[in-house]
Amino acid sequence: MNANEPREQGNGGWSQFGATPPSAGGFPRRDTTVMGQPVPPPPPPAPAVKPGLSTRQKAIAGLALAAMAIGGGAAGAAVATAMQPDTIAAAAPAPASFKQASSTLTVSDVAAKLQPSVVMIEGSTGEGSGVVLTADGLILTNNHVVVGAGQGGQMSVKFSDGKSAKASVVGTDPATDLAVIRAEGVSGLTPARLGDSDQLRVGAPVLAIGSPLGLQGSVTAGIVSALDRTLTVGGEQQQQVPPGWGQQPGGQGGEVTTIGGAIQTDAAINPGNSGGALVDAAGQVVGINSAIATNGGSSGNIGVGFAIPINTAKQVADQLIKGGKVSHAYLGVSVTDATGDVSGALVRQVIEGSPAAKAGLQEGDLITKIAGKPVDGGDTVLGQVRGFKVGQQVQITYMRDGKTSNVTVTLAEKK
């Protein structure tokens, strides 16, 4: 978070995922032998996640499967597994509407179409996933998957046909947790078809494709559970890790990153899915899987996962490929969460000469909407603004002295 836009941090948030050693044992199992006796009734279901799960509850983000602590923080995976890179996990039962959403593609068709375009990324700090952008080796992934390699650092990429290639970092953007790498000496790769995340609707069927727990080419099915979630990744939550798994060098919990507009899904994603594809029923990538919510300290999937919208990812990737640096939109306010019965972001400070100051926003204003979308706290403001382009005009709705007003702000580049 830039010093020009400080905000108060709550007790919750999202933490970077850390490491599951590839050599640790296999999956737990449950014996189901009947032994000639009546089958007992199934145990009661696990308690459901409480309604209204917010971005301030515990969560783990950055689903890279790591072998040691990485820059940006680390936490342990709940289930360790031996490396099985050639295993293809079966897709979970798809929603009944999945096939109806596409007259030509079944779930199996979509999976088969996208698996060649999703890779496993391996480095000294662990493993993650990536999405092929070009036939000559450009690959989109999460920043926290490659951060240990550094700019120009080396890692390897494994493709769905079992072949591998060395890869290096083209550019990273910690602010959006995105990165682009290049597989070296390759050609004829199958680029993924990128969709339009702005067209997503709640309830739409999706697949998550990646390498959870080192299981390359795994496919899970679900729906879009919600849209426009705001995730705060890093900070103190990164230090809440299982004993013995290590923390970021220095023990500081890492830089806080706020991601706006995230797609929520119940398609199962786990450590190692980071950087992989969230795919719609037409076989188009609509998101980059990046985070999961947690319940009671568990770091495994509980059916609440998050992906960075592909429209944001495309914008960032284009800039990284062209120049290795990303320009971010800047509003120029310091905000905190509103208190009491009101919902919104309270403006604590307006930076002199900033877009907010030029538009007439003042200290004490309560921002309630940005571009027509509700604001429920300070993180929402930061996350939404990062999703806009430099120079874009955005309408902000705010309250001052009990009166609601609108103002149009022309966003500038964040220095």
Question: What topology does CATH give the domain 329-413?
Answer: Pdz3 Domain (2.30.42)
Its pTM surpasses 0.85? no
Contact 306, 226 (CB under 8 A): no
Name the more confident of 152 and 146: 146
| Active-site amino acid positions | 144, 177, 274
Name the more confident of 164 and 147: 164
Q: Tell me the per-residue pLDDT of 220-250, one tens digit each, with 9 for 90 and over.
A: 999 999 998 888 765 433 322 222 222 233 3
Contact 118, 202 (CB under 8 A): no
Q: Domain-by-domain residue ranges, the chain? A: 15-21+53-323, 329-413
Q: How far apart (Å, rounded) are the C-alpha atoms in residues 29 and 18?
A: 24
Q: Which of 4-18, 63-77, 379-393 has the highest mean pLDDT?
A: 379-393
Q: Decide yes or no: CATH 2.40.10.120 for domain 15-21+53-323.
A: yes
Residue 296 tokens read as 């009671």
Return the pLDDT at 50: 39
Q: How far apart (Å, rounded) are the C-alpha atoms in residues 82 and 206?
A: 28
Least confidently predicted of 34-48, 146-160, 199-213, 220-234: 34-48
Q: How far apart (Å, rounded) are the C-alpha atoms in residues 27 and 10?
A: 35
Average pLDDT over residues 270-288: 95
Contact 99, 41 (CB under 8 A): no
Contact 142, 178 (CB under 8 A): yes
| Per-residue three-class SS string for 317-381 | HHHHHHHCCCCCEECCEEEEECCCCCCCEEEEEECCCCHHHHHCCCCCCEEEEECCEECCCHHHH
